[in-house]
Structure 1
């Protein structure tokens, strides 16, 4: 059977998308999610509800593109509100420094050096906070898993598409959550 909606079968036991995600989040990440939820609840939902009501008052809804579009947007916002509400109930906010700040743990800013001498600056955060522009990676990512618990000048080897990469940890820093 062929079709554009058909996907390749994956063994659920080996599919990385099926692995459970950690529920860790930094204090600033939780605050950002609460801010998004507040904005969607107090600003976007009422605005879209008003637009849907105005479009519905214009008459025939079957040919009313404004009504259809705004109703879809309202459903998208409501879905996002439900997701964020559920997610904020599930997450565990990490709002303290680890006991041993000389090792890599959740929330660490880590500087790595590869075999070519190139530096890579990353931060280990929860999967809700990942940001490729800032080089913030999920604690569930293979590189983060390889780094956790390691100290300065330790080597970490991680499988990459082009083969295994080895990094040396050259700096470990933490941001004080209470500052």
Structure 2
């Protein structure tokens, strides 16, 4: 049998058509909450891929294909691979934006209760103060102290108020944390 008609690996897991299995999933039946800034960044990325990057790669692939033998043509092979990556990302962004629900957290300005978009200061049992901003799944960045609204810390904090002590389930056990501040300024 020709190798061209066999699967590379019969043991490979079946991923969805776009290979998004490694991307953060949305909880079943939930909406894709995000801030206006997060939605605008996602939209800008989508239009950049569609209007700038994809046409450049298509041009490179077209030029490389016109050079003849495609089997050993690095520009052609890399270009086709990059096109697949771009198309996969475009499909992902389009799907996520279609189900996005933009939340204006500024309506809660001045409130001491934690809702989506809040920057929350909390104190752990050792007395160390931490600050996290609760954002959407696609916009949270842990390096910037931003957490997804579905994360354990966000779920523990949501709907609590300044002064409340909430229980946070961690791998090391349940910890009690105290909310010390709530702010609704837009994340940087």
What TM-score, normalized to structure 2? 0.81
Partner of 1:93: 102
Runs of 4+ in 1 over 3 A off after TM superposition: 3-6
Of 88, 108, 116, 1:79 maps to 88
Distance in 2 (CA, whole Å) between partners of 1:47 and 1:151 is 51
Please say if residues 22 and 127 of structure 1, whose CA atoms lie closer than 8 Å, have aligned partners that are also in contact.
Answer: no
Partner of 2:44: 35
Most deviating of 98-107 and 127-136: 98-107
User: How many residue pairs end up in the alignment?
Assistant: 166
Note if 1:52 corresponds to 2:65.
no
**1:40-87, Cα deviation, whole Å (9 max, x unpaired):** 111110110011011111100111122111101011101111111121
Q: 1:38 to 1:102 in 2, by over 3 A?
A: same
Structure 1 unaligned residues grouped into runs of 5+:
7-16
Of 36, 61, 64, 2:70 maps to 61
What TM-score, normalized to structure 1? 0.85
Secondary structure in structure 2 of the residue aligned to 1:133? helix
Partner of 1:150: 160
User: How far has the Cα of 1:36 moved from its partner?
Assistant: 0.5
Distance in 1 (CA, whole Å) between partners of 2:41 and 2:167 is 33
Most deviating of 24-33 and 93-102: 93-102
User: How far has the Cα of 1:5 moved from its partner?
Assistant: 4.7
Q: 1:39 to 1:18 in 2, by over 3 A?
A: closer
